[in-house]
Structure 1
Amino acid sequence: MTGPTRPTRGEELLLAKISAAAGRAYLGKRRATYTAVGYTAPAHAVPVRGIGSLLAFVLYGRPSAPQTRRDARLDLYEHGMTVALKGRIHVVRYDATSVFEEGVAEPYDPARAGTTCTISDADGRRITLHAGPERGGAEDAEEWWPGIRRAVTRARLPRALAALAGGERLTFGDIWLTGEGVGSGRVSARWPQVQQAGIRKGAVGLDIAGTWHRLGPAASEVPNLFVFCALVERLRTDGIR
């Protein structure tokens, strides 16, 4: 009977670097480890300080040409995650990151894994992640991708609700929310009028009093789209409490 494979010296050193980076960022206990395909690319995004220091991102076009894709190791922790890619350990905090989704399914369901996600690390660098090509890579993505969304929602939703209750205005790209309503460009509505938020033809929109209104930006350009949808669902049904 064959016992567990002993890690190589390189694997031991990598784990030590990951653990040290997670410790410095106070990410808490490690929950799971996965593999993916990833690359980093400069983002055409400018961080904007909103009221109460909540971070919003205003996008200017698409990212430039990505670098060569490499295998990435993902370690998910209580309060964040690390991405080991090309010898560098990227630290991501769930309460500060912005996540962008590609291949968003219609109708939108945050519980379903998309084809690609891009996350921002603690230094503001974007990392794009795909399912790995090896056996089990797609199955891994069906765990780590929804896991990231759930963790970011848990970290961001209470802060967002508290900010709205305090009279602040939040932005998700070009979309804004307040305790009174939601809108973008020339489209706006008070919460009692909103019946649903969703995706149609790749764009974010609202069902307002039975009529669908596109809010403008493509779904892939909205940071933390799943948090936005969770806020809309909470506010349209329960309001600010």
Structure 2
Amino acid sequence: MTGGTPPQRGEELLLARVSAAAGRAHLGRRCATYAAHAHAAPAGGIRGLLALVRSGLPSVRANPDARLDLYERGMTVVVKGRIRIVRYDTTSAFRQDRAFTLTDAGGERITLSLGESEEWIPKIQRAVTEAQLPLALARLGRGERLAFGDIWLTREEVGSGVASAQWSQVQRTEIRDGLVVIGVAGAGNGPEAVASGIPNLFVLRALVECLRTESGHP
């Protein structure tokens, strides 16, 4: 008998482990499975992450070393045999030039490198937005102030630094020269912040659209 586990048997065992972990986390039905490339999470929080981006990620390897299983309420990420749980309603996602970073259920970061096209990214972004947008709107309705990196918002206004605007003044959000800019009617400069430092930027953009529309701005 030769040593090791046959590839097909190994895949079956991994799927069983992933399914069990997803079941314990109550992630619901599996929706899709993808291969990806992972990188070690940098130390130093967001500053460490930005330093990694500035220094340049290694080129995408030919053979993917991570497995992503997307479920209804979250996803699993398998890297070197370790299964990580990501919950759509609590994760923070950061998008940089060639990196997509998520926080898992324990608060640890998982950094995935990007190739020419990664179809799993919009699916994850859509799922996170669907999970977090209603929660964010409910918190704002209770009078809370939310922060997305350097941008903050309340039910009445949005701001960053010394710049702020009422929702009735807000026209749009846009990414310009690496910054997310809140376009304000009649103002040369609205609230802005470095886009790569904003967690769940796609959720922020959805919130801005909801709140400016509710204010009556076309």
User: Which TM-score tier does this pair reach, normalised by the shorter chain?
Assistant: 0.7 to 0.9
Distance 1:16 1:119, change over 3 A: same
| Pairs within 5 Å for 1:144-159 | 144-159=120-135
CA-CA distance at 1:65 after TM superposition? 5.4
Give the conservation status (yes or no) of the 8 Å contact 1:39–1:85: no
Corresponding residue for residue 102 of structure 1? 96
CA-CA distance at 1:217 after TM superposition? 2.9
* Number of residue pairs matched by the alignment: 203
Report percent identity of matched pairs.
Answer: 57
Give the conservation status (yes or no) of the 8 Å contact 2:66–2:78: yes
Give the conservation status (yes or no) of the 8 Å contact 1:194–1:207: yes
**Structure 2 counterpart of 1:237, from 202, 213, 216:** 213
Say which structure is richer in helix.
Answer: 2
**Gapped regions of structure 1 (runs ≥ 5):** 1-5, 46-58, 104-114, 133-137
| Pairs within 5 Å for 1:205-216 | 205-213=181-189, 215-216=191-192
Corresponding residue for residue 108 of structure 2? 125
Q: Determine helix, strand or coil for the equivalent of 1:217.
A: strand
Corresponding residue for residue 18 of structure 2? 18
Say which structure is richer in strand.
Answer: 1
CA-CA distance at 1:86 after TM superposition? 1.1
2:93 maps to 1:116: no
**Structure 2 counterpart of 1:62, from 43, 48, 51:** 48
Partner AA of 2:14 in structure 1: L
Corresponding residue for residue 38 of structure 2? 38
d(CA) in 1 for partners of 2:147 and 2:194?
15
- The Cα RMSD (Å) is 2.3
Distance 1:166 1:101, change over 3 A: same
Give the conservation status (yes or no) of the 8 Å contact 2:184–2:190: no
CA-CA distance at 1:205 after TM superposition? 1.1
CA-CA distance at 1:130 after TM superposition? 2.5
d(CA) in 2 for partners of 1:11 and 1:167?
49
Corresponding residue for residue 71 of structure 2? 77
Distance 1:222 1:43, change over 3 A: farther
CA-CA distance at 1:71 after TM superposition? 1.2
d(CA) in 1 for partners of 2:214 and 2:186?
19
d(CA) in 2 for partners of 1:239 and 1:25?
38
Distance 1:98 1:230, change over 3 A: same
Partner AA of 1:34 in structure 2: Y
Give the conservation status (yes or no) of the 8 Å contact 2:158–2:191: no
CA-CA distance at 1:128 after TM superposition? 1.2
